[in-house]
Structure 1
Amino acid sequence: MGRKADLESWCNSVFRDAWETRQGAKVPDEDSKLSLMNEAIELEATVLYADMADSTKLVDTKKASFAAEIYKTFLHCAARIIQHYGGAITAYDGDRIMAVFIGDQKNTNAVNAALEIRWAVLHIITPQMKRTYQTTDYVLRHVTGVDSSSLFVAKTGVRGANDLVWVGRAANHAAKLSSLPSDYIYITKAVYGRLNDSAKLGSNGKNMWEPRTWTFNDQTIYRSNWTRSIG
């Protein structure tokens, strides 16, 4: 079979074959028993995207080694915090990290992770950077987006070079929220409405979140520039 016929046959099978789906009890990973055909896992989940801002300017204006150190410290701190709150890291995409949370506390856990990531940027990464690079004018800025919905998870790619594709509102909207103006955490109404007070109220009892209208689809979202300290 020629290459053209092989690709035509593959696409025809994907479009015509029925899907086999099952409910997920844990966050799928590359070892999950999914084939490259029409098999998928469905689950209710909360997605977090933490994204560095202005990374193109960083790599264009600073030494590669310095940019790599910023990437490494940001992604490492974010990953450790996400794991602390029970999130599963599903992708590193250049200067950002994607994580999925499941369970009864998935929204509160994801938001508390976002608050701690912001604290780590301000009180761990930045001071440590300035100890070594005392004259640098670089300021690390980032955005975190969080949304919750049903997800449809399938395997994509080719044998030996494949990954999971996360289909659902939360995956797309969390990523889009992380492209909004920096130094804020943005969450959807679906997340805000299910938060425990530990992720909604500050130590003084004040609501940490302010409603905004998202021009992407005119829906109400919430943003915060508060943090949660790491002990």
Structure 2
Amino acid sequence: MALKDDLTNEVGLVFRSGWTETTGRVVPTPSDVGLGNKATLLEQAVVFYADLDGSTNMVDKKKWEFSAEIYKAFLHCAAKIIKAESGDITAYDGDRIMAIFIGNNKHDRAVRAALRLRWAITNIIEPCMKEIYTTTDLSIKHTVGIDSSDLRAVRTGVRGDNDLVWVGSAANYAAKLNTLSSDFPTWITKAVYDGLSSNLKISNTQSVWEPRLWTAMNNMPIYCSTWHMGIS
């Protein structure tokens, strides 16, 4: 079959076929979701995106080995912290990592992961970097965006080369929050803030969060923080 005919047939099948949806109790892998118009629903899942800030400039100006080491250190710490908070890593994308939190205390666990990543960068990654690269002027900056919504996993691609896409506002907003200022490393939506325990809102009578209006998103209420949480 010619490529044009194959593409026409497959695209037509996508648009004509009905959808089958099941509710998931765990975060699925690609093999858990069928290749047809099938979706797995995760109810009110929490999506976590962490992203290095300024990585393009770093790659342009620093040796590739140095940039690779920063990437590896950042992603290693992020991944280990996510797993320690019982999150499921769903994607690595360059200097970015995506994770999903479901189940009990999911908002707290996702936010703790963000605050602990902030601590790890300041207290582990940067000191190790400066011990080896004593003359570097690099200050590692990052953002974490977190949102919560119903989320559907849909398998895309072709046989032997496919992955999941995550359809739901949380996946989009969490990623877009990474475009905001890294002067505040952690950004969360009101849905996440409202789901937090009080000890993650107030510390020693001080608010952990500063409210903002997200002007690019119709003045959507969001919250940002410079706080961190230690790791033992």
What's the TM-score once normalised by structure 2's chain length? 0.97
Q: CA deviation at 1:59?
A: 0.5
SS in 2 for 1:60: helix
Which whole-Å deviations, capped at 9, do the CAs of 1:83-129 have from their partners, x for residues lacking one? 01010000000001000000131111100100000010111100010
2-structure distance, mates of 1:201, 1:29: 36
Aligned to 1:117: 117
Aligned to 1:37: 36
SS in 1 for 2:13: helix
Q: CA deviation at 1:198?
A: 2.9
Which whole-Å deviations, capped at 9, do the CAs of 1:143-192 have from their partners, x for residues lacking one? 00000000011100111111100010000000000111114210000000
2-structure distance, mates of 1:83, 1:19: 32
SS in 2 for 1:37: coil
2-structure distance, mates of 1:53, 1:22: 37
The one-letter amino acid of 2:117's match is I
1-structure distance, mates of 2:207, 2:168: 29
CA-based RMSD: 0.9
2-structure distance, mates of 1:66, 1:150: 39
The one-letter amino acid of 2:126's match is T
Q: How many residues align?
A: 229
After the TM superposition, list the runs of 4 or more consecutive aligned residues in structure 1 that deviate by more than 2 angstroms.
none
Aligned to 2:187: 186
Aligned to 1:53: 53
The one-letter amino acid of 1:133's match is Y
Q: Which runs of 5+ in 2 are unaligned?
A: none
2-structure distance, mates of 1:128, 1:95: 19
8 Å Cα contact 1:51/1:179 also seen in 2: no
2-structure distance, mates of 1:25, 1:66: 41
2-structure distance, mates of 1:30, 1:229: 34
What's the TM-score once normalised by structure 1's chain length? 0.97
Q: Which runs of 5+ in 1 are unaligned?
A: none
SS in 2 for 1:35: coil
Which whole-Å deviations, capped at 9, do the CAs of 1:38-72 have from their partners, x for residues lacking one? 01100120000000001000100000000000000
Q: CA deviation at 1:197?
A: 2.0
SS in 1 for 2:206: coil
2-structure distance, mates of 1:153, 1:228: 31
Percentage identity across paired residues of the two chains = 53
